[in-house]
Structure 1
Amino acid sequence: MGISTFVLFRQGESISASDLLKNIRKISINYGLYFSNNYDEYDETGKLKFCTIYISDIPFEESYSRQIPWNLYDEPYKFQTVDFNWDDSKSQYFKALVSEDFYENEDLLFKILYGILKIYPSAEVWIEDNWFYTIEDLEKIKNKPLDNEWCYKNPIDL
């Protein structure tokens, strides 16, 4: 299907890439997920600017189709700022985490996003449509039997 997920922070309010990476590792441990990263980019001062991570709920060698790859960025980073004409706040956002395709892994996506937004409740999730998911939206979803179509629906309708 080719849909990506974006974890957004208001421009100037994002979390450092190294702190975000550290907390995603903790989330993976707490939720019994498998975590790996294989590429890191640092600036001239040694500060983490970018990395690629992989998260799965089964060992990677058992199924590569069950993992979700993510790119993690440190603000500022070229081409990672976005705004939305449908967003009434008129805010600029920084795309701190960007997943690659998660199709058929919607339950795993929910688990990861819920863990991230529990730690960073000011973050918002955008999944290529005209709405955001907040921690409040994810709490509502969590309190019901999981509908794997959750991420294709406007949170107002959930």
Structure 2
Amino acid sequence: MASAFVLVEEKSNISIDRLVKDIRQVCLESNLQSIDGIQDVDSEQNMKHCALGISRPNQQDSDSSVANDMIRVDVYDEPAVHQYRELEWREDGKIYFNTLIIDEVYQNEEVTLTFLYHFLARHPQMIVWIEEDWVYTLSDLERALKTSNLSDWCYVNPNSL
């Protein structure tokens, strides 16, 4: 498992600027470090996509000065081509928008859980889909923080937490 998707119902109208601001605030509040990455803008200079790195503070590899426990978070502004999905097995008929895509989840499960819990606390209407596996809500993430081994939470059915 390599990716997690933070989904919101289509046409929810949460601006990318607000999402990025919330990500930075969540990092401050949860003792994580955010590192700005690339930004893509449209012809009017409106941000349409950006990437951020999120890690534990002061975690550096002595050989390469690269942060350990880092996840990459891609943030998208709706609408964006190829960022919509239907979770057929949920049978709710809803179309979801990939608001955030988190890469490098494998071996960074604790950073991912910490970030996602605090982010969904600000946006409880969102859900997290772990690629090929389960969908987690804010209450699932809260149970994972309290009851699971933090490094295996995303490999466990949220109903069994």
- Calculate the TM-score normalised by the size of structure 1: 0.91
* Offset, 1:48: 1.3
In structure 1, which of residues 81, 88, 92 is the aligned counterpart of residue 91 of structure 2? 88
Q: How many Å separate the matches in 2 of 1:146 and 1:117? A: 20
The corresponding residue for 1:54 is 53
The corresponding residue for 2:140 is 137
1:71 aligns with 2:70: no
- 1:124-145 Cα deviation digits (max 9, x unpaired): 0000134310011112222325
Gaps of 5+ in 1: none
* Offset, 1:14: 4.8
The corresponding residue for 2:9 is 10
Let me know the Cα RMSD of the aligned residues: 1.6
Q: How does 1:115-130 map to 2 (within 5 A)?
A: 115-130=118-133
**1:119 counterpart letter in structure 2:** R
Q: How many Å separate the matches in 1 of 2:149 and 2:15? A: 31
Gaps of 5+ in 2: none
**2:26 counterpart letter in structure 1:** I
In structure 1, which of residues 64, 77, 98 is the aligned counterpart of residue 101 of structure 2? 98
**2:8 counterpart letter in structure 1:** F
The corresponding residue for 1:23 is 22
* Shift in CA distance, 60/16, structure 1 to aligned 2, threshold 3 Å: farther
* Offset, 1:102: 1.5
* Offset, 1:80: 0.3
* Shift in CA distance, 130/103, structure 1 to aligned 2, threshold 3 Å: closer
Q: Note if contact 1:14-1:94 (Cα within 8 Å) is conserved in structure 2.
A: no
* Shift in CA distance, 59/129, structure 1 to aligned 2, threshold 3 Å: same
**1:41 counterpart letter in structure 2:** D
* Offset, 1:66: 1.7
**Alignment: residue pair count:** 157
How high is the sequence identity, in percent, across the aligned residues?
Answer: 31
* Shift in CA distance, 83/145, structure 1 to aligned 2, threshold 3 Å: closer
**1:23 counterpart letter in structure 2:** D
Q: How many Å separate the matches in 2 of 1:31 and 1:84? A: 30
* Offset, 1:154: 1.2
Q: How many Å separate the matches in 2 of 1:145 and 1:152? A: 11
Q: Note if contact 1:52-1:71 (Cα within 8 Å) is conserved in structure 2.
A: yes
The corresponding residue for 2:157 is 154
Q: How many Å separate the matches in 1 of 2:136 and 2:78? A: 21
Q: How many Å separate the matches in 2 of 1:81 and 1:122? A: 16
Moved more, 111-120 or 30-39: 30-39
